[in-house]
C-alpha cells in the first residue's frame, strides 16, 4: 500500500466519519464541528490530488470564513438549553431509506461504470495556471462572481440590520 493510499483512506475515514457525525448529531454546534472535520479532510484530499491552491482556499474560505459565519449564526439563534429540534421519526426514517437507496444506486453505478482515466500529471505551477485561467478563459464567470459577491455583501448587510425598519442605532450591534 502506497503512502498515498494510506493518506487517502485516513482522510476518507475522517471525512466520511465527520459527515456521518453531522447526520447523527442533534446538537447544532457539534454538527458544525463535524462539518469542520469534513471540510478539513476534503481540503487535505485536495492537497493529495495536487490541487494545493484549492485546498488552501477551501481552508481559508470554508473553514475560516463560512464555518465561522455558521457558528456565529448558531450562537445568535440557538441556546445551549433551548428547545432541542429533533427530526421527526417518520421523516428521519423515510429520509434515511431514500438516501440509503440513493447511495446504494450511486455506488453501484460508480462501481460498474468504466471510467476512462488519464495518468495524473503534476502541474508545475498550479497557482499561476489557475490565475491565468481565471483571468483568461473564465474571465466572465470570474467577474460575475465578483458582482454577485458585491450584491451579497449589500444584501446581507441590509438583511442583518434591524434599524432600517426600527429606527434604533445599529452601528453598535454585530
- Which 147-166 positions form the footprint of other proteins (CB under 8 A)? 148-149, 152-153, 155-156, 159-160, 162, 165-166
What one-character DSSP code corresponds to residue 41?
H
Q: Which of residues 51-70 bind other proteins (CB under 8 A)?
A: 51-70
| Binding footprint of other proteins, residue count (CB under 8 A) | 110
CB of 136 to other proteins, least distance (A): 10
Long-range Cβ contacts of 95-103 (<8 Å, 24+ apart):
none
The string of DSSP codes covering 88-154 is: PHHHHHHHHHHHHHHHHHHHHHHHHS----------TTHHHHHHHHHHTTTHHHHHHHHHHHHHHHH
Q: Which of residues 69-88 bind other proteins (CB under 8 A)?
A: 69-78, 80, 83, 85-88
Q: Which of residues 122-151 bind other proteins (CB under 8 A)?
A: 123, 125-127, 129-130, 133-134, 137-138, 141, 145, 148-149
Amino acid at each position: 500500500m502506497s503512502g498515498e493510499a494510506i493518506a487517502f483512506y485516513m482522510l476518507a475515514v475522517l471525512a466520511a466519519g465527520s459527515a456521518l457525525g453531522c447526520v447523527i448529531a442533534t446538537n447544532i454546534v457539534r454538527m458544525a464541528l463535524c462539518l469542520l472535520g469534513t471540510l478539513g479532510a476534503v481540503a487535505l484530499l485536495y492537497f493529495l490530488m495536487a490541487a494545493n491552491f484549492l485546498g488552501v482556499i477551501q481552508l481559508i474560505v470554508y473553514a475560516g470564513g463560512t464555518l465561522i459565519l455558521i457558528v456565529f449564526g448558531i450562537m445568535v439563534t440557538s441556546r445551549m438549553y433551548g428547545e432541542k429540534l429533533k427530526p421527526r421519526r417518520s421523516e428521519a426514517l423515510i429520509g434515511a431509506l431514500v438516501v440509503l437507496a440513493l447511495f446504494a444506486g450511486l455506488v453501484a453505478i460508480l462501481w460498474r461504470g468504466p471510467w476512462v482515466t488519464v495518468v495524473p500529471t503534476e502541474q508545475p505551477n498550479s497557482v499561476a495556471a489557475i490565475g491565468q485561467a481565471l483571468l483568461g478563459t473564465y474571465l466572465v464567470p470570474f467577474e460575475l462572481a465578483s458582482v454577485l459577491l458585491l450584491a451579497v455583501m449589500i444584501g446581507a448587510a441590509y438583511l442583518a440590520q434591524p434599524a432600517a425598519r426600527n429606527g434604533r442605532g445599529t452601528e453598535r450591534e454585530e
